[in-house]
Amino acid sequence: MKSSELARMAGVSVRTLRHYHAIGLLPEPPRGENGYRDYEPTHLLRLLRIRQLASLGFSLEQIGPMLQDLDAKRAEGDECRGASDRLLDDLDRQLQEQITQLERQRELIVRIRSGQGEPDYPARAARALEAIEDFERTSHGQGFLLCALTGNDKTAMGVAAHLYSDDELAEIERIFHAIPERGLTQEYLHVSRLMDSLPAHASTERREAAIQAGLAFLEKIDDCFDVRNWLRPDKDYELVLENMASAHYNDAQIAASDELFTRFTRRMAERAEHGGCISSTEA
């Protein structure tokens, strides 16, 4: 058979044949007196076997050893477990992982079509975003805990949804479920108003009053916070989000907010050091 005839019967291109020759997957036949390769039925069978294995998901690098092992097993009466079995096991695991991922994608599509998610946001952020949206809808406010994540263009929220870790997103979800469930919505909004109303040259007393009110509120939901998210250094994207938020606040508001979270972080560190229960995830 000529290369064009072999390729046609096997359903591949002549270029594919040449590639298989080049990588040693398909042995090259001797050339006839006319200078052309002269293929035998054995070449056709090997090519068809290569196509079959490729259709199962094996890479070309795996197919060569797979064929060699299958041939050896047939020659020896299939008495021992060889490389082909291990490759099949590996492939089966890979396919199962792909199936699981496809099932997750299908579930996400169902949620998106039912209005419970966004196609351009990761699925793992959906519950945190939903908790925030529910809180904003029922409280008609955002408040100081969301100052780094809110804005008319939702840029910060989008960045957080993509880059926050699972633990950070879970923390947000816990917080904004706990506030209304514990009847703390009005206190939360009161603290936020104290912060938002600080003038640029607010007195030390006025700033301290806002900070103390914030600390008293945070103490009531401190079990929602994951201490690991607070005691580690800030990540690059968190600094970006903080800078975005700072652009909308005056110096007194920024200073009060920084001091509030510095003190609260210190309290959480003290509790962690003394074995206190700080995070509901660690309870």
pLDDT of residue 277: 46
Percent of the residues in the chain that have a pLDDT greater than 70, as a whole number: 87
User: What is the distance between the alpha carbons of residues 127 and 173, in angstroms, rounded to a whole number?
Assistant: 7
pLDDT of residue 281: 38
- The domains of the chain are located at 3-81, 120-273
Phi–psi pair at 82, nearest 5 degrees: -115, -165
Q: Which of these, 158, 174, 162, 134, lies nearest to 244 by C-alpha position?
A: 158
Task: Determine how many CB atoms are found less than 10 A away from the CB of residue 117.
Answer: 21
Radius of gyration of the chain (CA): 32
Q: Tell me what the pLDDT averaged over the chain comes to.
A: 83
- The 10s digit of each residue's pLDDT in 142-155 is 677 766 555 544 67
pLDDT of residue 274: 73
- Is the pLDDT score of 78 beyond 60? no
- The 10s digit of each residue's pLDDT in 45-76 is 899 999 988 888 889 998 998 888 888 877 77
- Is the pLDDT score of 86 beyond 80? no
User: Which three-class secondary structure string do you get for 92-110?
Assistant: HHHHHHHHHHHHHHHHHHH
Contact predicate 29/39, CB 8 Å = yes
User: What is the distance between the alpha carbons of residues 238 and 156, in angstroms, rounded to a whole number?
Assistant: 10
Percent of the residues in the chain that have a pLDDT greater than 90, as a whole number: 34
- Is the pLDDT score of 95 beyond 90? no
Answer yes or no: CATH 3.30.870.10 is held by domain 3-81: no
Reported residue count of the chain is 283
pTM greater than 0.75: no
Contact predicate 272/223, CB 8 Å = no
- Is the pLDDT score of 81 beyond 70? no
Strand-pair partners of 37: 31
